[in-house]
Amino acid sequence: MEQQDKFYKGLFWGAALGAAAGTIMGLLFAPHKGRETQQIISGKVKSMLDKATELYESNENDGAYSNEAKTRSQEIIDTARDEAKKILNEANSIIRDIKGYPKPKEN
């Protein structure tokens, strides 16, 4: 059992480090400037969230879905929106670190 736990722990850390390295390499060798990449990413995330919200609201009066499903879908949309904001903030931070800009002061 301990062997299996070590395997999954190693798998997790390998995936996490691979994702981090891939993100950094992607930012370093991106075909667009950082600000353009940020705008592209944020535009796509906002578009997807708007579509999800639109679908949720269009089905709001539909009796086929239960209230529990509606509540859960709204929670998923809110969580996705929060995670997207975190990812954009991390990307901005990485780009600032790469360019050597100081970090902005938080309110």
Do 6 and 38 share a domain, yes or no? Answer: no
**Full residue range of the structural domain in which residue 6 is found:** 1-30
Do 6 and 51 share a domain, yes or no? Answer: no
Kindly state whether residue 107 falls inside one of the protein's structural domains: no
In whole angstroms, give the CA distance from residue 69 to residue 71.
5
pLDDT digit string, tens, across residues 47-74: 888 888 887 777 665 555 567 777 888 8
Kindly state whether residue 105 falls inside one of the protein's structural domains: no
Alpha-carbon distance values, 71 to 41, 66, 84 (Å): 27, 9, 20
Do 75 and 50 share a domain, yes or no? Answer: yes
In whole angstroms, give the CA distance from residue 107 to residue 101.
18
pLDDT digit string, tens, across residues 1-47: 677 788 888 889 999 999 999 888 887 787 777 788 778 888 888 88
